[in-house]
A and B are shown apart, each in its own frame.
Chain A
Amino acid sequence: MIKVEHVSKNFGKTHAVNDVSLTINKGDIISLIGPSGSGKSTLLRCIHGLEKIDGGAIYLDGEKMDPSDKVKYRKQRARMGFVFQHFNLFPNMTVLENCTLAQIQVLGKSKEEAEQTANEYLQKVGLQEKKDSYPNNLSGGQKQRVAIARALCMAPDMMLFDEPTSALDPEMIKEVLDVMKDLGTQGMTMIVVTHEMGFARKVGNRVVFLDQGEIVEEATSEQFFSNPQSDRAKDFLSKVMYD
């Protein structure tokens, strides 16, 4: 579905992502993990085009993603939903308006149609009763679930999550992971940058371990957590897993 080929991204002299190649198939739930500064968020942002890549190419169903071909590029990006660490909900709009804005403005749906879709997904994330609230009156976990619903309203083929639970209080992490797990079981293709090893292990089917902008290890979740191959992955896991 997505093919990342020799992608590089530099910030000044630092190689945030260095010659990374990766294939994501339909239905995959890929966890990008690694120490902070390893380039996992940057890689995710490059895949969606939030960061311009400095080298290599990204293919979506065999077709290159090329920012200079604006019409096609926009359509390609529209197939991916993106969820941010800090939610980025629109504070001046209600939950419902957050979910309908792009449906109306980008997909050209009527207000009624958009609201129907929005209600459907808000129900899915368990927040339909909050539809008239403003984001600042919600808890962190609720905000993130709204953000997921907002992305789903655009009917994407895959979802990209950039540390979706890192800004949450501990007791709110599960409610967000549960929503993501449901999505996964319904067959949504997902790429998740995460520090939640339990999620990566139980819900994700593959793990990509990055360090210093490079892929160090790529394996099925079970393999990676029970029998990591590289020293760096072993070292990382010994630090983050508390048994």
Chain B
Amino acid sequence: MFKAFDKVFTLENILYMGKGALMALCIAAVALTCGLILGTLGATGRNSRHVIPRTIANLYVTIIRGTPLLLQILMIFSVIPSIYTAITGKVLRIDPILIGMIALSINSGAYQTELIRSGINGVDKGQWEACETLGLSSWKTMKLVILPQAFKRIVPPLISEFITLIKDSSLISCIGAVELLKSAQVLGADYFEVMSPYLLAAIFYLIMTIVVSMIGAKIEKRLAVSD
């Protein structure tokens, strides 16, 4: 099973895979950050009094959560270049890593919309009233009082969202982005044996997710100061 074990586990190959792991981490971080922005917008939309932002946000969440991530990646991979070609008549070549970041951001944004919305709605309505009696505008109330409390509640689910994103970044190997899983496949092709590189990839994924959840636990503890 592990025929090429000794050949695969060399410093050079481990460094090569480490680069892939860093790429996966980078993709997940970008997706988490962009998703946070999209999610805040989405949550504001879903809570809006006006029907248009509410409808857009609802559609966004329904479509993204109702279709497979792999399909979304493949569709965005083919849709963006063909729109570009239709408009400019030229052929567009985008880095598949970038496509992957866009797809994962859009996907994560939908999940984070629900997450942030539940965080905002979980803040006691007395907080809104207190701000109202102090004369704070609703925007400042949201920014200075509600969101900080909401984010504190959503730190734990946000950490698990980040872990999900690290693992889901492996899906973009299917459009040719060289991240961790793809690196393993490349090594597998080199040595005509996939199990050893896969094992190495699994170890890398595990290290990343364990470290992230440890950092998450630290952050949670820190935020608990005011409890």
Closest to B129 in A: A50
Q: What are the residues of chain A within 8 A of B135 when measuring CB–CB?
A: 74, 77-78, 102, 106, 154
Q: What are the residues of chain B within 8 A of A92 when measuring CB–CB?
A: 145, 148-149, 152, 226
Q: What are the residues of chain B within 8 A of A151 when measuring CB–CB?
A: 133-134
Any B CB within 8 A of the CB of A90: yes
Closest to B130 in A: A88
Interface string of A153-184 (1 = CB under 8 A from B): 01000000000000000000000000000000
- Is there an interface contact between B126 and A88, defined as CB atoms closer than 8 Å? yes
A134 touching B132 in the complex, CB below 8 Å, given contacts A88-B127, A92-B149: no
Closest to B135 in A: A106
Any B CB within 8 A of the CB of A81: yes
Residue among B129, B149, B227 having the largest count of chain A Cβ atoms under 10 Å:
B129
Closest to B132 in A: A50
B contact face: mostly helix, strand, loop, or mixed: helix
A86 touching B134 in the complex, CB below 8 Å, given contacts A91-B226, A101-B144: no
CB distance from B227 to the nearest CB of A (A): 6
Q: What are the residues of chain B within 8 A of A48 when measuring CB–CB?
A: 133
A90 touching B152 in the complex, CB below 8 Å, given contacts A105-B136, A134-B225: no
Within the assembled complex, what's the spacing in Å between the Cα atoms of A80 and B132?
11
CB distance from B106 to the nearest CB of A (A): 30
Q: Which of A74, A78, A86, A102 contacts B126 (CB 8 A)?
A: A86
- Is there an interface contact between B226 and A134, defined as CB atoms closer than 8 Å? yes
- Is there an interface contact between A106 and B129, defined as CB atoms closer than 8 Å? no
Within the assembled complex, what's the spacing in Å between the Cα atoms of A91 and B227?
7
Any A CB within 8 A of the CB of B6: no
* A-B residue pairs in contact (CB < 8 Å), sample of 16: A80-B133, A82-B133, A84-B126, A84-B130, A88-B124, A88-B126, A88-B127, A91-B227, A92-B152, A93-B226, A101-B136, A102-B131, A106-B134, A106-B135, A134-B227, A154-B135
